[in-house]
Homo-oligomer: A and B are copies of this chain.
Amino acid sequence: MARSPAIALVSGGLDSCVAAAIAADRGEVAFLHLNYRQRTERRELEAFAAIADHYQVGRRLVVEVSYLQQIGGSSLIDPALPVPEGETEGVPSTYVPFRNANLLGVAVAWAEVLGARRVYIGAHEEESQYPDCRAAFFAAYNRMIAQGTRPGARIRVETPLIALDKGAIVRRGVELGAPLHLTWSCYQREDQACGRCHSCRLRLDGFARAGLPDPIPYC
Q: How far is the CA of A96 from the CA of B149 in the complex (A)?
A: 10
Cβ B105 vs Cβ A102 within 8 A: yes
Q: Which of B109, B145, B146 contacts A99 (CB 8 A)?
A: B109
With A73-B112, A105-B105, A113-B73: A148-B67 Cβ-Cβ less than 8 Å: no
Interface of A is mostly: helix
Identify the closest chain B residue to A135 (Cβ): B147
Report copies per complex.
Answer: 2
With A61-B71, A68-B109, A106-B71: A98-B143 Cβ-Cβ less than 8 Å: no
Q: How far is the CA of A141 from the CA of B102 in the complex (A)?
A: 12
Say yes or no for A160: interface residue by CB 8 A criterion.
no
Identify the closest chain B residue to A108 (Cβ): B98
Report the contact-size class of chain A (Cβ under 8 Å from the partner): 35 or more
**By CB atoms of chain B within 10 A, which of A63, A68, A109 has the most?**
A109
Cβ A106 vs Cβ B137 within 8 A: no
**Chain B residues, CB < 8 A from A68:** 109
**Chain B residues, CB < 8 A from A67:** 63-65, 106
Q: What's the minimum C-beta distance from A216 to chain B, rounded to whole angstroms?
A: 29
Q: How far is the CA of A85 from the CA of B158 in the complex (A)?
A: 39
Q: How far is the CA of A48 from the CA of B128 in the complex (A)?
A: 38
Q: How far is the CA of A65 from the CA of B66 in the complex (A)?
A: 9
Chain A residues numbered 61-119 whose CB sits less than 8 Å from any CB in chain B: 61, 63-68, 70-73, 91, 95-102, 105-106, 108-110, 112-113
Cβ B97 vs Cβ A112 within 8 A: yes
